[in-house]
Structure 1
Amino acid sequence: MPRAWYTPLAVAAALAEIVLIAVGTHVAFSWLLVWVPAVSGLALAVAAYRSATASAEGSLRTFWRRVMVAMTAVLLAAVSQVADLATTTWSGMPPIGARTLLLYVVGTLLAIAALLRLPGGGRSRSRLTTAVLDVAVVAVTAGIGASAYQGWFIDRFGVSGSAWWLNIAMMAIAVAGIVVVVKIMSAGQSPVPRAALWWLAPVGIAGPLSTVLMTLLLPWPHLNGSAAVLPFVGLLGVLAARSEGPAAVSHQSSRRGTAVPLVATGLTSVLLATVYVRTGDLGTAQVAGTVALLLLVVARQAVALAENARLLGAVAHRAAHDDLTGLYNRRHFTEAVAPGHTVVMIDLRDFRAINDGLGPEAGDALLVAFAGRLTELAGPGAVVARIGGDEFGVLLPGATDFAARLVAATAEPLRAAGHDMIVDVSVGIGDSYRDAEIALREAAGGRVVRYDASLECELRQRATLAADLRRALTDGEFHLLYQPVVALPGGELDGVESLVRWRRPTGEVVSPADFIPVAEDTGLIVELGAWILDTACARAATWPGLRSVAVNVSARQLLDPALPDVVAAALSRHGVPPSRLTIEITETAVFGGGRALATVKALSALGVSIALDDFGTGHSSLGLLRTCPVDAIKVDKSFVDGLGGTPEQEAIVTALTGIAETMGLRTVAEGVETAEQARRLHQLGYRHAQGFHFARPLPAEAIDDLLRQRQPAAA
């Protein structure tokens, strides 16, 4: 990076030159004075390029080194021009020797070579076409300008050998500027910052401008056109060397697409008008160039319009489609719903468990695979959309059997990310988007529900229940009952399971089957669960004779990373040993691992016991016994009901106790309702049970009495 003081010195040199030119038109002084800022500015540019070379790497370092060599040649040319002036007596046009002109040409050619050797690329065909047309527009514009300059130059300087040398030098410098502009527009990528290239572009006008200034400054022999422009060449070089930012990556934009033809035609129009006013005629080259320029501009704008149309089409497509699946998105789907259509809303069951267990890539692959299946089932006349997350929508013309075909298709596994997955769905059907959404909410759990007016009523009831639930938490309307867990065969009280109940101030009892799902949906289960844990631990502290107090924890609670801290705080607050608390979870809650399983492991690390509730009714039960830190399994009532029947009906109960004994797990049989069931369970190896045969859920005071009596809970 060039030193910070290079820039202000280069600016000072350029300003000093302006002041000298302005003063020199009124006061005579030594001709050498105007060359001090000129040579100083060029020397600063060389120093700036050298610093840029030292701090750069790779191809960028090579570029700055080549440009430094080119600018050094220009600096030597300026010094040579000073020597020409010092050793020659002249009147009129200041002399420029062959050596000086050669150095200017060499410096210019070296700069052009440095630019042409810059790497480029990274373009599409349409952008390359646009760039080629831009380059052609610039080239034709430059050609028209060159023809006008050539006529002026010959008229002013004649066709002598020295004049032709001067003309070649000035045209070479102009070509250098054109090459810079062309390189900027044609290079898809370049190691040189775009700002640096744009700072170098105006250098091309330095040569022609210096010859124009030479003629304008003829009345003042101590002034010189070359000296007038060289400080600005140095300043532009310093600014280029200190430029930072991204490499020159060409972006097709409407700004450049408009600027290139407008600037080209504008400059050409001004130039031709000036020539015509001055001479009263236009040359053949100028007329032909103007026609070519107009054709190129028309072609350039046609390509730009086509590209803009393509981009607008891509933007419109992206605005209406889902990036992952390629289906329509929610916005387009809702706008497409019209009377006479059937709206089907679909939700993938247990997608979160799959996403957590197998990873986001597998989850995304499953969504893409399901989108393909959905599109195939819906047919060409349907609008298929991904509404968001794992929710999809299908808009069908009229009533169809689509839902039935979809449910039947879920029996076939989907291949995604190397896995064969069976995905269940919940389906809501309606005549409008809102109706289908309401039906989908009711279908949660893997059902197909069609909207009817009764669902509106249920929805309002659930909303009312959610509001009442929040108020009930604040007003303390909840209480716990405790169902005994007894030891077999005698029925001695061993532990209790905490069960939450809600009694309104009016005396009305709200069933857990009604309020627990609402608490799950609203997230209030987290707050309610914290209250249950605290209340159960407070009671456990007063029941030292019980081996365990169990608390049910929902799937939603397991997704809360703060749950282990809540449990630890409740145990500590009431002085309960962790081993006396049992956390009961369902298999479905931890299927697939992820955050839920991590929470269970954190709870187990606290020292509390983990029990799998309703064992045998969820996902991959036996696999969970290996991956989840389980201490006990609670065999579901549906298996207990089969006791006393055929050997096939008892097979699962028999197998489970054998597996548990082998793995060192405690088993608890749930839903025991008869003495015969209790006796048979004991014969099969079960040592703990709970159910109405022993006791219904009891208030805390009843558990106090049982502990005092220390008598069997059933005769």
Structure 2
Amino acid sequence: MARWRGWLTPLALVMAVAEVLLILLGTRTGFPRLLVWGPAVAGVASTVWAFRVASRRTAGELRTFWARLSVALGAILIAAISQIADLVTMPFTGMPPIGARTLLLYVIGTVLAIAGLLRLPGGGSSWRQLTTAVLDVAVVAVTLGIAASEYVGWYMNRFGVSTSAWWLNIAVMAIAGAGATVVVKIMAARRSPVPRAALWWLAPIGLAGPLSTVLMTLLKPWPHLNGSAAVLPFVGLFGVLAARAQQRHLAGAQETPLPAEDLPDHRRSTAIPLVATGLTSLLVATVFLRTGHLSTVQVAGTTLLLLLVVARQAVALAENGRLLRTVARQTAHDELTGLFSRRHFTTAVARAGGTNTVVLLDLREFRAVNDGLGSAVGDAVLIAYANRLCLVFGDRAVIARLGGDEFGLLLPESVDVAERLAAAGAEPLRAAGHDVLMEVSVGVASGADDLYRQAEIALREAASGAGARVVRYDASLEQRLTQRATIAADLRRGLTAGEFHLLYQPIVELPHGRTVAVESLIRWSKDGRTISPAEFIPVAEDTGLIVELGAWIIDTVCAQAAAWSRRHGCDALRSIAVNVSARQLLDPGLVDVVAGAIARHGIPAARLTVEITETAVFAGGRALATVNALSALGVTIALDDFGTGHSSLGLLRICPVDAIKVDKSFVDGLGGGPQQEAIVIALTGIAETLGLYTVAEGVETAAQARRLHELGYRYAQGFHFARPLPPAAIDDLLDQQVTTAA
């Protein structure tokens, strides 16, 4: 790949400055007429080289664009060399000699440049955009025609109608057309692969032809000077600056990929007609003030220009109207599902007043599905559920996706919400080849003025419980919401003030009941009373404080484990368990928290047992990855409440489990007959086959303990053995066990 030459820009600038100095010097003293052509040829040659470098550093349509321009400027360079030959071989007759061959080369180079510019993609796809582009070109063409009518008259007065003069006139008009083409391309392009700065640097090159003719007249008293030589170094300078703009754009794209540049719609819709009519008005006014009349071409051209501008603006207004309608529709609708958007829904609810029903729905466990099966399946679930809602509620409802996995319904009060929602959730959703049955939390509010807020309160209450729930708003929910907000504020204060403490419930070995492990349980004492975990744990989950609270629990458990090891020996307790919630498993810092606590207090990793629920990890994703990382640390993993979750047996294959804790609901069925005991028997068999140990939870009677032992269980916990105890009571229990053993 060609590398940008840093010396190209300084060289082109030096050639342009040198040419200006030579022209100024030439008006005071004479020198060889070929001297002014040195900077001219060097300047154009630097542009050809710069365009070749730009071509080699790009690809696709950009490579083709810069390659075409390098060929076009190559023809201009040959034309300049040919003009030097004309100066040497042709007689001087007042106007600097320029042959037909030279003029033809200038025209060829200009036509090649125009062709390259016209083939540059400019974006735009609708018929209105294409029509606007055509009208833009027509507006510029008429403007140039009016200007050309005045220019031709001036040109004839200066140079007559000789063959050379006509060839020169054609070359000048072609070069001017190239400049106009660049300007039209810049203003009309909807999207350009070429940096806009590069196009603007190319635009002044189109002035080279007319300016050279003007300079040829002004420099006539000094035959050693030449108008063409005076402008060519600036052709080189602007060309090099255009290639440099392309190079800088490429350098920026290597750091941050840059899309093709967009030109704002309002500039495209106003710049061309404003510039064209402004320039034409100035030209016509100048001609009229100078001569007192206008030519037929100028009057007809001005009239045609006005008609084209009116037509162009009418098409632009129609296109803008279509764009506004498209934007309005996109604002009112959700892009993924096609349902109404949150903004449209809230506006509809506000207009409806209190005679309707607002229903807010949240798909429970959607994040688990999205993480476990992928975002494509997650999107398919949202689309499928949106279609289900439309099918069940029909045209009478305003149905919206409010964001994420939340939906909203605005219904007449007469609609039976519960019955229809039951129908919407009765069958699994078919999504990207998967059958997914989603539980839904629903908040309903009706017959009031502040329906949306009330439905949000009801939805929050529904989402705080387990399973699919439909909650209707009533005044008590406001009180509960205030209470939860108070608890959330007190939670943070209580954590700082040290109001939390841990109790430990023994896990015993059957049949003799010796304590071999303990499970830690959080308690909160505030203002002389103990607040139940059932009250504050859900609030901690909702607010995210569970992460900070969980880190404190883990550190305290590890510290207590180290203390018991020092006092009673390393073998006194097999493990100390700590419960970890689904929210904690999604925290990327949990593994570091556990590793830090183990290292800080110097306990074996296997002595810490992390208890997780099946629901927290059944869909895999980040939660399962966290469990795998904890297992890799050597921490013991236990599945709590086993048998009550989504896919208990399947989890034993994918989750690094060391122990299962059989839920109390199965233990309660012991002694009730073979059918009620079947699951308890099956679970211990599965665990033994997989090399896991089982703990039976919620043992409350001696009969349950005896039966569990008969069925093969070796570990159990429950009120029959001990209630949760403070650390000092566990110390006494361990001391007593040592004394009894002795």
Indicate the SS of the match to 1:242.
Answer: helix
For 1:267, give the aligned amino acid. L
Indicate the SS of the match to 1:396.
Answer: strand
Q: Residues of 1 paired with 2:608 and 2:592: CA distance?
A: 14
Q: Aligned to 1:407, which of 418, 422, 427?
A: 422
For 1:153, give the aligned amino acid. Y
Per-residue deviation, 1:712? 13
Per-residue deviation, 1:252? 5.8
Per-residue deviation, 1:624? 1.1
Matched, 1:683 2:685: no
Per-residue deviation, 1:434? 1.9
Name the residue aligned to 2:271: 259
Name the residue aligned to 1:212: 214
Name the residue aligned to 1:145: 147
Q: Aligned to 1:346, which of 343, 348, 361?
A: 361
Q: Residues of 1 paired with 2:554 and 2:87: CA distance?
A: 99
Maintained 8 Å contact 1:477/1:505: no
Indicate the SS of the match to 2:245.
Answer: coil
Indicate the SS of the match to 1:483.
Answer: strand
Name the residue aligned to 2:656: 629
For 2:427, give the aligned amino acid. E
Q: Residues of 2 paired with 1:55 and 1:642: CA distance?
A: 77
Q: Residues of 1 paired with 2:423 and 2:502: CA distance?
A: 43
Please identify, of 623-632 and 122-131, the stretch whose mean Cα deviation from structure 2 is larger.
122-131
Q: Residues of 1 paired with 2:635 and 2:75: CA distance?
A: 83
Maintained 8 Å contact 2:26/2:225: yes
Alignment of 1:181-196 (within 5 A): 181-182=183-184, 192-196=194-198
Name the residue aligned to 1:519: 540
Per-residue deviation, 1:151? 3.1
Name the residue aligned to 2:499: 477
Q: Aligned to 2:723, which of 680, 689, 696?
A: 696
Q: Residues of 1 paired with 2:687 and 2:513: CA distance?
A: 21
Per-residue deviation, 1:207? 2.5
Q: Residues of 1 paired with 2:66 and 2:553: CA distance?
A: 73
Per-residue deviation, 1:40? 4.2
Per-residue deviation, 1:630? 1.8
Alignment of 1:104-123 (within 5 A): 104-115=106-117, 123=125
Per-residue deviation, 1:640? 1.8
Q: Residues of 2 paired with 1:627 and 1:136: CA distance?
A: 70
Q: Residues of 2 paired with 1:108 and 1:604: CA distance?
A: 73
Query: 1:228/1:273 Cα in 2 relative to 1: closer, same or farther (>3 Å)?
Result: farther
TM-score normalised per structure 2: 0.86
Q: Aligned to 1:655, which of 679, 682, 707?
A: 682
Please identify, of 542-551 and 340-349, the stretch whose mean Cα deviation from structure 2 is larger.
542-551
How big is each residue's C-alpha offset from its partner over 1:103-156, in whole Å with a ceiling of 9 and x where there is no partner? 333433443454456567664433322222211212222222223323333344
Indicate the SS of the match to 1:379.
Answer: helix
Name the residue aligned to 2:253: none
Matched, 1:580 2:607: yes
Per-residue deviation, 1:461? 1.8
Maintained 8 Å contact 1:24/1:220: yes
Please identify, of 255-264 and 36-45, the stretch whose mean Cα deviation from structure 2 is larger.
36-45
Matched, 1:496 2:518: yes
Query: 1:357/1:39 Cα in 2 relative to 1: closer, same or farther (>3 Å)?
Result: closer
Indicate the SS of the match to 2:411.
Answer: strand
Name the residue aligned to 1:553: 580
Matched, 1:233 2:235: yes
Indicate the SS of the match to 1:439.
Answer: helix
Q: Aligned to 1:286, which of 295, 298, 301?
A: 298
Per-residue deviation, 1:425? 0.9
Name the residue aligned to 1:664: 691
Name the residue aligned to 2:552: 531
Indicate the SS of the match to 1:163.
Answer: helix
Number of aligned pairs? 712
Q: Residues of 2 paired with 1:94 and 1:37: CA distance?
A: 18
Alignment of 1:438-477 (within 5 A): 438-444=457-463, 445=465, 446-477=468-499
Per-residue deviation, 1:420? 0.7
Query: 1:489/1:141 Cα in 2 relative to 1: closer, same or farther (>3 Å)?
Result: same
How big is each residue's C-alpha offset from its partner over 1:141-197, in whole Å with a ceiling of 9 and x where there is no partner? 222222332333334433343433333333333333344445556777776544444
Query: 1:207/1:332 Cα in 2 relative to 1: closer, same or farther (>3 Å)?
Result: same
Q: Aligned to 1:154, which of 148, 156, 159?
A: 156
Alignment of 1:84-103 (within 5 A): 84-86=86-88, 90=92, 92-103=94-105
Name the residue aligned to 1:615: 642
Indicate the SS of the match to 1:287.
Answer: helix
Per-residue deviation, 1:505? 4.2
Please identify, of 131-140 and 116-125, the stretch whose mean Cα deviation from structure 2 is larger.
116-125
Indicate the SS of the match to 1:443.
Answer: helix
How big is each residue's C-alpha offset from its partner over 1:376-414, in whole Å with a ceiling of 9 and x where there is no partner? 334334333333332222223435322442134212111
For 2:43, give the aligned amino acid. G
How big is each residue's C-alpha offset from its partner over 1:538-575, in whole Å with a ceiling of 9 and x where there is no partner? 15424543333322222222223333333344444444
Query: % of aligned pairs identical?
Result: 71
Per-residue deviation, 1:642? 1.8
For 1:226, give the aligned amino acid. S
Indicate the SS of the match to 1:304.
Answer: helix
Q: Residues of 2 paired with 1:255 and 1:82: CA distance?
A: 43
Name the residue aligned to 1:175: 177
Alignment of 1:55-70 (within 5 A): 55=57, 60-61=62-63, 63-70=65-72
Q: Residues of 2 paired with 1:392 and 1:412: CA distance?
A: 18
Per-residue deviation, 1:325? 3.0
For 1:395, give the aligned amino acid. L
Name the residue aligned to 1:709: 736
Query: 1:403/1:712 Cα in 2 relative to 1: closer, same or farther (>3 Å)?
Result: farther
How big is each residue's C-alpha offset from its partner over 1:403-441, in whole Å with a ceiling of 9 and x where there is no partner? 442134212111122211110111112242222222112
Q: Residues of 1 paired with 2:78 and 2:538: CA distance?
A: 87
Query: 1:144/1:547 Cα in 2 relative to 1: closer, same or farther (>3 Å)?
Result: same
For 2:138, give the aligned amino acid. A
Q: Residues of 1 paired with 2:731 and 2:53: CA distance?
A: 88
Q: Residues of 1 paired with 2:735 and 2:87: CA distance?
A: 122
Query: 1:63/1:594 Cα in 2 relative to 1: closer, same or farther (>3 Å)?
Result: closer
Name the residue aligned to 1:131: 133
Per-residue deviation, 1:83? 4.6
Maintained 8 Å contact 2:642/2:661: yes
Name the residue aligned to 2:380: 365
Per-residue deviation, 1:474? 2.9
Maintained 8 Å contact 2:192/2:262: no
Q: Aligned to 1:566, which of 586, 593, 603?
A: 593
Alignment of 1:307-318 (within 5 A): 307-318=319-330
Name the residue aligned to 1:590: 617
Q: Residues of 2 paired with 1:668 and 1:461: CA distance?
A: 37
Please identify, of 57-66 and 450-459, the stretch whose mean Cα deviation from structure 2 is larger.
57-66
Per-residue deviation, 1:579? 3.2
Q: Residues of 2 paired with 1:711 and 1:408: CA distance?
A: 62
For 2:152, give the aligned amino acid. Q
Name the residue aligned to 2:254: none
Query: 1:12/1:345 Cα in 2 relative to 1: closer, same or farther (>3 Å)?
Result: same
Query: 1:467/1:27 Cα in 2 relative to 1: closer, same or farther (>3 Å)?
Result: same
Query: 1:644/1:259 Cα in 2 relative to 1: closer, same or farther (>3 Å)?
Result: same
Query: 1:661/1:239 Cα in 2 relative to 1: closer, same or farther (>3 Å)?
Result: closer
For 1:487, give the aligned amino acid. E
Q: Which runs of 5+ in 1 are unaligned?
A: none
Per-residue deviation, 1:261? 1.0
For 2:701, give the aligned amino acid. T
Q: Aligned to 2:391, which of 376, 400, 406?
A: 376
Name the residue aligned to 2:255: none
Q: Which runs of 5+ in 2 are unaligned?
A: 251-258
Maintained 8 Å contact 1:387/1:393: yes
Q: Residues of 1 paired with 2:739 and 2:124: CA distance?
A: 84
Query: 1:203/1:334 Cα in 2 relative to 1: closer, same or farther (>3 Å)?
Result: same
Indicate the SS of the match to 2:722.
Answer: coil
Indicate the SS of the match to 1:343.
Answer: strand
For 1:422, give the aligned amino acid. L
For 2:462, give the aligned amino acid. A
Q: Residues of 2 paired with 1:556 and 1:370: CA distance?
A: 25
Indicate the SS of the match to 1:412.
Answer: coil
